[in-house]
Amino acid sequence: MIELYLFLIFMLIAAIIAIEIQDLLAAIISLGAVGFSVAIMFIFVHAPDLAIVQIVVEVLTVVIFVAVVLRTTHVDETIGKKLSGTQILSIVFYAFFVILFLTVMIRSLQELPAFGNATMKVAKEYIKLGLPQTGGANIVADVILDFRALDTLGEATVLFTSVIGVAALMRKVGRK
């Protein structure tokens, strides 16, 4: 699993670069690097469906980000300015929060099954019943379109909502 660790490190470095760099276009490319390394890690954990969807979604996300940045400005003027009072306050708050959150999180993550030993209580049933009862060979497709099809309807609705929302917010004038 050494390749997984390498990509995790790469992902974290790219994430820090994306947040701290001044050129917004470079930040978006680093965002793309994070997204694509997530896609590759999906392949390492045997999730080809996820990898395909993550790649296409990542391409689209980067295209949308770049479209917005090209229509506005690609220099982050706030980097290098002196920190304001509220900012310093929020960094201090955030530091306290991180310490608290990490201790609680690590303690509770230890109570979970270790990495690589999924419990699979319900999932066993899906694997057993998937092909005979729904007829689909891809168990993930069986789950999203038959066993849990309502989630997929909801997902399609979320996308529909955001398309209508984008269309509503890109009107030329709001009021008559």
Partner 1 sequence: MRGMSLIVKTITNSIIGFIFIYGLYIILHGHLTPGGGFAGGVIIAGAFVLKILAFGSGASAEKRSTTVASIFESVGALLFIGVAMSGLLLAGTFFLNFLPKGVPLHLLSAGIIPLCNIAISIKVGAGLFSIFLALAAMKYIVED
Partner 2 sequence: MIVFVSCIILFLIGLYAIVTKRNLIKIAIGFAFIEYAVNLLFALIGFKRGALAPIITQIDKPHNFVDPIPQALVLTAIVIALGTTALMLTVILRIYNRYKTFDIAEIRKLKG
Partner 3 sequence: MLFIPLLFALPLITAFVIPILGKIYKPLVWIVTTVVSFILFIIALYGVAVTQEIPMSVYKMGNWPPPLGIVMAFDSFSAFMVLMISIIVFTTSLFSLRYLSRFTGQWKFYTLFMLMTAGMMGISITGDLFNMFVFLEIAAISSYALVAFGIEGEELEASFKYMVMGEIGGLTFLLAIALIYAKTSTLNLADISNSMQVIRGTTFFWMIIGMMLFAFSIKAGLVPFHTWAPDAYPAAPAPISSL
Give me the residues that bind partner 3 (CB under 8 A), please: 104-105, 107-108, 111-113, 118-123, 125-126, 129, 146-151, 153-155, 157-158, 160-162, 164-165, 167-169, 171, 173-176
Among 78, 87, 103, 162, binds partner 1 (CB under 8 A): 162
Q: Does 41 bind partner 1 (CB under 8 A)?
A: no
Tell me the closest approach of the beta carbon of residue 65 to partner 2, in angstroms. Answer: 7
Q: Which of these ranges, 25-33, 82-90, 104-112, 131-139, lies near partner 1 under the rule CB under 8 A? A: 131-139
114 makes contact, choosing from partner 2, partner 3, partner 1, none, with CB < 5 to 8 Å by partner type, with partner 2
Cα–Cα nearest to 33, from 12, 49, 53:
12
Cα–Cα nearest to 126, from 142, 149, 113:
142
CB nearer to partner 2: give 42 or 175. 42
| Unique residue bearing structure tokens 């689209």 | 60
Task: Compute the radius of gyration of the chain from its Cα atoms.
Answer: 21
Tell me the closest approach of the beta carbon of residue 30 to partner 3, in angstroms. Answer: 20
Tell me the closest approach of the beta carbon of residue 75 to partner 2, in angstroms. Answer: 9
- Torsion sign, CA atoms 86, 91, 92, 96: positive
Asked if 90 and 84 touch (Cβ cutoff 8 Å), the reply is no
Q: Does 94 bind partner 1 (CB under 8 A)?
A: no
Q: Which residues make beta-bridge pairs with 75?
A: 23
Per the rule left: phi > 0, alpha: psi between -120 and 50, beta: everything else, 46 is left
